[in-house]
Structure 1
């Protein structure tokens, strides 16, 4: 008999495990068994649910188990994922406690069929309530594992009656699988209910292709995905979170050597000694605020190292980073996946590992905020149409070279053009003002088409971010007199820093005002608006809205270009502070399709797709 990988943990390690697995529903069974399949490197998982029979079957194509491991699989505190107490602080798998199958065996009828990859014989084992194998026999089975859990809580009818209804449990199963699929997009999922197809999730290289399969109203083009590598804090440094949150400047970046265990720094060594050589990843999947949002914050989600977790602090960080980008009472679609060093996480906190203790929390909150801000910007890397246009251009050049003819499609670049290209390379897409439409919209062209930008709300976004960065109240040489202010209005003005003094019966003197409003003729009206309620942020939005250029105002081309340059450099250029979309994109590819400007570059041009078929190009 081959030796097994599954071993019983020592009493020392068992005592350090804070809590065991909690099997409280069919969804919990699915979660635990599916996580075992993923730890076994499965990339195809089939789940069958028989709710009336309280039965779940999970089949995978993972590495499987030999006979020795199969006999040990349901024993208490038996696992192949950790061995010693030190492993508890370096968890790299989804499971580690070795209690899931034992807990399931105690509550249901458990059967496991498995065949180890590279062998020719499979085995089936049935277990008693103590996790001991009762029946072991050889069977014919493909490499992988099939786990069948039947009659869950069959001997605990009162407990079964206290569980949520079957429809609620089915929704929980669906949600569980969807969450896991987002964290592991390479896996194919086939789910059945009572032997009938329920839903499937096709694999992909990233979560961006998975989320539209889960939220049917969302399209791939509505999403922005960004992966950012950041240094990992070193827990051994003993520095606090505020030190870890210090941003790294270009002059302070660490220098690495291949065999170096510690980082050597050229500058600011004391502050940067908290960073390990290993980089972590922050993956952001963001619903663009001008295209999709939700009535509830049900898709503000966080995952860490392949598992969804509840993290109120990080969820609030996401909401704060996207503040004033959505309409009122709407919430973003945002999925953050932290893939970080296991030493940063204490998984030994929650029975279902749904909550974690994340070291250096302030550092990760700051990095998440920066990553979201980067994802919200408008740049060539954030516009898939720009990438496609560049790809088509390269294909045309290749076809001309192979076809023996060449066309001069471009005018000789001037020095100014070269500077323009340089600016595009640093992440700012080039927009050129062309005309003003109805004294309301700016028509601008860019490398992949043209945009219509509403001038008022674009300017409002510019002013709002300027105000947030430097909210400034300046004294008024001549006080503004307001009448008939209520005590609540006076308190509101004072709350946002405006000096208000009695000036007679039902008269009030305003001694200072926001700098943007000081020189405006409608400053008294604006101050009345600010007195009507809201916090400082609301006052800043109102000030920006009041100060922005009005629709109907004629602008010269230089004025339009200046506004475009200011707007595209804002942190959240897609929507105004009220959540309204700022621009309408008319892509060149869409215009070409409308005017039926299509042709096929075939094999005669020497260009084919991966399957050998000709490539369709719009032009």
Structure 2
């Protein structure tokens, strides 16, 4: 279906956020690539000549006929919107009619294009600084568009000299392409530098297939994806796509791969980014951040794109609703599911952390046990306890292989989520007497809700304790540990760690099976609250390859 490029009315121009669109090489790539995506392209080729300040973007989209080609570089001429009302129902990546005009202002712009419908040949047009055609000629090209800008910022040398180094600009271009590829996984991308291949991105069905191409240390089996169909409070149909790096397999030193996209474009959304980071709390090691990409697709009226010229900042309606859905979606994505039985766990044995802890006996706590076991709308795999290794690891068998589960941190995860759901303080008789506490330690215990009062010179009586510590002989030591700082959640982690079964504790099969059944139902079963991986997967396919069971008998006997 052909589209018509026409000028925006003055009242719409006045409402559009002011600012220059093209301020760097990466911005030029972004605007031309977004135009290609808006045209329905499935393949985009970007050619860069940074030393010459030249770039070209070619696509196989709908293209333009001669009439539209003559108008496309004029200021505020666009086919995306036509009135003020259209600003509140934007469905395209571009809409201001500024990008091509800005490119014409700051460089030498040429466009080859051929409409996909009823056009036997294409046209090439060169534009002046005002975006008006100065050269026209027939060109034999395939349907689609090729936009070339040369001598970028040649007429403003001060700006060119103020831009970052070549390497930084190329890195920014790579970031732009990666962001667009995540949001539009069905597109094939080819990027060349000085006519030499730089990088390619293959198309995929979802962002889960794109992410491993961007982060070479991440394998597709390290990722879990979920897509939800939702209805906003205003009854607008929406979808939420979530791709997370499993916390026992991949995480980052910085929050540089916490990405949020809305309706096809990566945006800065601090509130949603913080929601993502909070959803991974107590699943990652200290000072590590998740790998997570989420993509919200909702009705155009839920978004105001007209906040920033680069369209990286938006106003999103129903923010609290989206924060709640994101938290619940990430929680669902991190649970164990039958799919976990089909994917190999790529953890190295050398990365397993050994815990040297005192002996203890595993005691079931039926009161807390009922607090965590809930009905969930997911089918859980069957794990069968087979044996205990070194009084530390439980061998759990399933239909596709076996898992090695570290008993202490699996139990720690169970207890932590129980305490998170039902932090209960119970009276203790006789009271425990603590000595030599600082005022800060006393305030810390009071902040956790414990009843504590002075009992003489440098003595304090503790009259309530967490239920999980109530019957423990080391309750006094645990209270001193809790007094050294941290919020309530940190106290719950410390309590869970202290009360969990110790490594070196022998378990019988019913006890092992009970622990497995409780652990697999937790919300975040992959890591303990400190971020350590809980299980190592040994899949049947991997075992078969290692023992070469696919060999024929004759070959294996040297016949």
Give 1:499 deviation, angstroms.
2.4
What corresponds to 2:406 in structure 1?
454
Deviation track 1:440-469 (CA, whole Å, cap 9, x = no partner) reads 111111121111111110010011011111
Deviation track 1:508-552 (CA, whole Å, cap 9, x = no partner) reads 211211110111110011011111111111111001001111111
| 1:569 aligned to which of 521, 530, 533 | 521
1:144-159 equivalent positions in 2, closer than 5 A: 144-159=144-159
1:373-384 equivalent positions in 2, closer than 5 A: 373-384=331-342
What corresponds to 1:363 in structure 2?
321
Distance 1:131 1:475 in 2: 80
Give 1:477 deviation, angstroms.
1.9
Distance 1:179 1:18 in 2: 23
TM-score if structure 2 supplies the norm length?
A: 0.90
Judging changes above 3 Å, is the alpha-carbon distance between structure 1 residues 3 and 494 closer, same or farther for their aligned structure 2 residues?
Answer: closer
Deviation track 1:191-238 (CA, whole Å, cap 9, x = no partner) reads 11112111111111121121111111111111111111111331xxxx
What corresponds to 1:314 in structure 2?
272
User: Contact conserved, 2:108 with 2:128, CA < 8 A, in 1?
Assistant: yes
Structure 2, unpaired ranges of 5+: 345-374, 553-559
User: Contact conserved, 2:21 with 2:98, CA < 8 A, in 1?
Assistant: no
User: Contact conserved, 1:30 with 1:58, CA < 8 A, in 2?
Assistant: yes
What corresponds to 2:245 in structure 1?
287
Deviation track 1:223-274 (CA, whole Å, cap 9, x = no partner) reads 111111111331xxxxxxxxxxxxxxxxxxxxxxxxxxxxxxxxxxxxxxxx
What corresponds to 2:200 in structure 1?
200
1:493-504 equivalent positions in 2, closer than 5 A: 493-504=445-456
| 2:394 aligned to which of 429, 442, 454 | 442
What corresponds to 1:24 in structure 2?
23
* Structure with higher RCO (Cα < 8 A, 6+ apart): 2
RMSD over aligned Cα, in angstroms? 1.8
User: Contact conserved, 1:300 with 1:332, CA < 8 A, in 2?
Assistant: yes
Distance 1:446 1:493 in 2: 44
User: Contact conserved, 1:20 with 1:99, CA < 8 A, in 2?
Assistant: no
Distance 2:391 2:500 in 1: 14
Q: Does 1:518 align with 2:470?
A: yes
Distance 1:426 1:221 in 2: 20
Distance 1:425 1:104 in 2: 53
Deviation track 1:52-92 (CA, whole Å, cap 9, x = no partner) reads 11111111111110000100001111111112222211111
Q: Does 1:537 align with 2:495?
A: no
What corresponds to 1:229 in structure 2?
229
Per mean C-alpha deviation after superposition, the further-off stretch among 506-515 and 42-51 is 506-515
User: Contact conserved, 2:341 with 2:400, CA < 8 A, in 1?
Assistant: no
Q: Does 1:491 align with 2:449?
A: no
Give 1:425 deviation, angstroms.
9.2
1:532-611 equivalent positions in 2, closer than 5 A: 532-598=484-550
Q: Does 1:176 align with 2:202?
A: no
Judging changes above 3 Å, is the alpha-carbon distance between structure 1 residues 506 and 340 closer, same or farther for their aligned structure 2 residues?
Answer: same
Count of residue pairs brought into register by the alignment? 521
1:31-42 equivalent positions in 2, closer than 5 A: 31-42=30-41
SS in 2 for 1:81: coil
TM-score if structure 1 supplies the norm length?
A: 0.82
SS in 2 for 1:181: helix
What corresponds to 1:328 in structure 2?
286
User: Contact conserved, 2:232 with 2:318, CA < 8 A, in 1?
Assistant: no
SS in 2 for 1:298: helix
Per mean C-alpha deviation after superposition, the further-off stretch among 46-55 and 8-17 is 8-17
User: Contact conserved, 1:375 with 1:382, CA < 8 A, in 2?
Assistant: no
Give 1:141 deviation, angstroms.
1.2
Judging changes above 3 Å, is the alpha-carbon distance between structure 1 residues 181 and 426 closer, same or farther for their aligned structure 2 residues?
Answer: closer
Give 1:143 deviation, angstroms.
1.2
Deviation track 1:325-346 (CA, whole Å, cap 9, x = no partner) reads 0111111100001111112111
SS in 2 for 1:542: helix
What corresponds to 1:354 in structure 2?
312
Judging changes above 3 Å, is the alpha-carbon distance between structure 1 residues 425 and 85 closer, same or farther for their aligned structure 2 residues?
Answer: closer
Structure 1, unpaired ranges of 5+: 235-274, 387-422, 601-619
Distance 2:341 2:114 in 1: 47
Give 1:21 deviation, angstroms.
4.7
User: Contact conserved, 1:20 with 1:97, CA < 8 A, in 2?
Assistant: no
Judging changes above 3 Å, is the alpha-carbon distance between structure 1 residues 585 and 530 closer, same or farther for their aligned structure 2 residues?
Answer: same
